[in-house]
Structures are given as C-alpha cells and as structure tokens.
Amino acid sequence: MTTLAILTAAGSGTRLGRDLPKALVELAGFPLVLHAARRLASSGVVDALVVTCPAGLDTAVRDVVAQDPHVDVPVRVVEGGATRQASVATGLALAGPDDDVVLVHDAARPLAPPLLVRRVAAAVRAGHRAVVPGLPVTDTVKQVAPPSPAGAGAAGGPDVERVVETPDRALLRAVQTPQGFDRALLERAHAQGAVRASAEGLAATDDAGLVEALGEAVHVVAGEEAAMKITTERDLLVARLLLEEES
C-alpha cells in the first residue's frame, strides 16, 4: 500500500500580487512549489506526487519539480481547477490502485518540515482516517454577524461589524497542511461536496471540511510554525527568516 501526495499549486496568488502564479514565486532562489515538493519527498513516507498547476503551465511546473534531484519520487503534473477544492479533486482522480493514503499539501506552505509530513501520515496509518496539523490560536477570536444587505457603513459612519460570539480559544486550532486521509474517505468527501467546487464562495477551504460535512471524524495533530502559509509579501519575508534560522 502506498501514499500519494497531492501538491496544490494551481492558484494565481492574487493576494501576493506578483505577475506570476504564487507557486512559481522564488524564495531563496527556488520556487515555492519546489521547496514544498522537496520536503514532501524527503519525508520518506511519500511514494508519488501529483502537482496541480495553473492552466498552460504544466511544462514549466514539470521542469521545475520532476527534474529536481532532491525530488526522488515519481511526479505527475495536472492542470488544476477554478478553486482549490476543484484542483484537489483533479489530482485525486489520478490516484493509483495501490494508493490507500492521500496527503494534500499546499505549495503555499513551502517550508512544512518532513517531520510534519511523517507525523500526519503516521496518524492516518495508525487508523485516524482524516488528520490535520493544527496550532493553538493566540489571538482572541470574535465571530461577527454576516454583512447586512445595506452594508455596515451605510449610515455614513466607519465600517463596523457586530460581534455575535467569542469562542473559547483554548478549543481553537489554526490548521495547516499537509492534511492526511484514508483515500476512500477523501474520495467520498470530494464526491459528496463536488457541487461546491466551482465557485470560491462555496468551495471548502480545506479538505478536512469536506470530511466534516459527511459527518465523519477529523483529528488534529500538532502543527509546526514552519508550515506557515504564504499569502502576502510579509509572509515571504517571514519565510526567508525561517529559512535562515533553519540553515
């Protein structure tokens, strides 16, 4: 039995605002997608990689990832979909007959360490069929009311939102990737949630959310600060510092 990693890299990186897709933006001389692929491969628990890429960039992404000497597992590259959820579904369709565990990881988390990959995969192999890494939340988090049709600032004052709840932060976890799944469960979750995949506002923001929607259990293992997500330029600066610390 084998473990497939789906590496999502098909996003455009709108919030980063560069003139190339985020996964191809360089950090310390290498594209984000390559950092992520190297760490997945060197975990020792990934047998093959499927990388989702933006339309028209399959050759560029294949050249970057599949030819890298540090990525010593078979690599396939496939064009992703309109949302992250759709991209994962496209990658999942390429799973082979022996793949019983699937890890889903974001190229936007390029420094997720190999030990985290092993921790997630081990928890799935130990019998937890859906596993996410998570960190405790340090801010106090407020839930706000949905926006009113008229808009919050409609009266002419500053934009304000009404708080409806303060969840107990001791029970909150900020979740990361890689997320790990029993392959059959992940397939069922994506099949059941398929109708959501076409639009950003409907799509699940992570794969575990689709499993939760089935009513199935999802488990959390300890996350890692290094698995931070690159969304903005500031995140790239922080990642650079983390890499310096690593070496």
Ligand X SMILES: C[C@](O)(CO)[C@H](O)COP(=O)(O)O
Ligand Y SMILES: Nc1ccn([C@@H]2O[C@H](COP(=O)(O)OP(=O)(O)OP(=O)(O)O)[C@@H](O)[C@H]2O)c(=O)n1
Chain residues that interact with ligand Y, rule: CB under 6 A: 8-15, 22-23, 52, 80-84, 87, 106-108, 229, 231
Nearer to ligand X, 25 or 108 (CB): 108
Nearer to ligand Y, 8 or 43 (CB): 8
> For 20, which DSSP code?
S
Selected from 124, 175, 185, 186, the binder of ligand X by CB under 6 A is: 175
Nearer to ligand X, 106 or 182 (CB): 106
Look at residue 41 and give its three-state secondary structure: helix
Cα 221 vs. chain centroid, distance in angstroms? 15
Q: Segment 107-166, which members bind ligand X (CB under 6 A)?
A: 108
177 binds, among ligand Y, ligand X, none (CB under 5 to 8 A by kind): ligand X
Least CB distance to ligand X at residue 158 (A): 26
The stretch near ligand X (CB under 6 A) out of 88-96, 119-127, 171-179, 191-199 is 171-179
Nearer to ligand Y, 161 or 233 (CB): 233
Least CB distance to ligand Y at residue 164 (A): 26
Residues facing 103 on adjacent strands: 5, 180
Peptide bond into 31 cis (omega under 30): no
Q: Tokens representing 127?
A: 């019998």
- Rounded Cα–Cα distance for residues 230 and 174 (Å): 15
Tell which residue, 90, 123, 101, has the closest CA to residue 48.
Answer: 101
> For 173, which DSSP code?
E
Provide the strand spans (E) within 124-182: 130-136, 143-144, 163-165, 173-175, 179-182
Q: Please give the residue ranges that form the binding site for ligand X (CB under 6 A).
A: 84, 106, 108, 175-177, 205-206, 229
